[in-house]
Amino acid sequence: AQTIHQWPVAEIKAVGSPLSLGCTIKGKSSPNLYWYWQATGGTLQQLFYSITVGQVESVVQLNLSASRPKDDQFILSTEKLLLSHSGFYLCAWSPGQYQDTQYFGPGTRLLVL
């Protein structure tokens, strides 16, 4: 069975500080990976997706960047946090190969002060 792990569970950071969030998928090789952002009580906004190691496509520009250093790892980061970055960050995976069902991780809660 596939498992998805996100870290950290929650963060409180200062405006202007750097950020790195991580996501790991176990039990599935070469998954498609996704990052989403969700405001409190809001919808899910896709930020990035990746279909293979080293390749990341940006969907929305929010002064964030993403990288896929390993087949099972997806990293979301920024050098300078903004207040607007607060929210719930979700990593998701799909099997790829025309199987588009996405499965979400438990999320990371971020509060920027």
Partner 1 sequence: QQQVRQSPQSLTVWEGETAILNCSYEDSTFNYFPWYQQFPGEGPALLISISSVSDKKEDGRFTIFFNKREKKLSLHITDSQPGDSATYFCAAASQGTGSKLSFGKGAKLTVSP
> Rounded to the nearest whole angstrom, what is the least distance from the CB of residue 83 to partner 1 in the complex?
21
b/e string for 100-109 if b means 16 or more Cβ within 10 A?
A: eebbebebbb
- Which of residues 41 and 83 has its CB atom nearest to partner 1 in the complex? 41
From the list 13, 24, 44, 62, which residue makes contact with partner 1 (rule: CB under 8 A)?
A: 44
What residues numbered 17-36 form the site for partner 1, per CB under 8 A? 32, 34
Q: By CB under 8 A, which span of 12-20, 62-70, 75-83, 100-108 interacts with partner 1?
A: 100-108
Distance in angstroms (rounded) separating the CA atoms of residues 4 and 56: 19
Residue 106 engages partner 1 in binding (rule: CB under 8 A) = yes
